[in-house]
């Protein structure tokens, strides 16, 4: 089990092709902010780090940390909702064919 937030930040930085230091910097570019938010969220959920600990690691105040975690949760909920609708729409696409098949079989 991973216990070091540095492993999480380094892995995410490598994956997204950005500098690990950028995650700790005050940089506000959209790409870096999204990865930083993801790192904060993963450290909070996976490692169970407190807001004071996260604040020290990421050099952010508590409200920024709460915002980061909320944004990732919203994104996850949006993806889950989108996947649910995709599944339902696929069912609807198949429904007319299934109805036609059952009508043809009954005649």
pLDDT in tens, 68-100: 999 999 999 999 998 888 887 777 766 666 666
**Res 28 pLDDT > 70:** yes
Distance CA 10, CA 62 (A): 22
**Res 4 pLDDT > 90:** yes
SS3 at position 17? coil
Q: What is the reported pTM?
A: 0.81
- Name, in order, each residue with C-beta under 8 angstroms of 28's C-beta and a sequence gap of 6 or more: none
What is the CB neighbour count within 10 angstroms for residue 39? 26
The whole-number pLDDT of residue 86 equals 80
**Res 61 pLDDT > 70:** yes
Closest CA to 35 of 19, 54, 57, 53: 19
Compute the average pLDDT of residues 2-25.
95
């Amino acid at each position: 089990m991973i216990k070091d937030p540095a492993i999480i930040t380094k892995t995410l930085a490598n994956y997204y092709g950005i500098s690990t230091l950028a995650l700790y910097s005050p940089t506000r570019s959209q790409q870096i902010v999204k990865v930083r938010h993801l790192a904060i969220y993963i450290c909070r959920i996976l490692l169970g780090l407190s807001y004071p600990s996260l604040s020290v690691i990421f050099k952010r105040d508590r409200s920024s940390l709460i915002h980061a975690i909320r944004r990732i949760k919203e994104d996850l909920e949006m993806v889950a909702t989108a996947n649910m609708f995709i599944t339902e729409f696929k069912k609807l696409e198949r429904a007319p064919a299934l109805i036609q098949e059952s009508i043809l079989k009954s005649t």
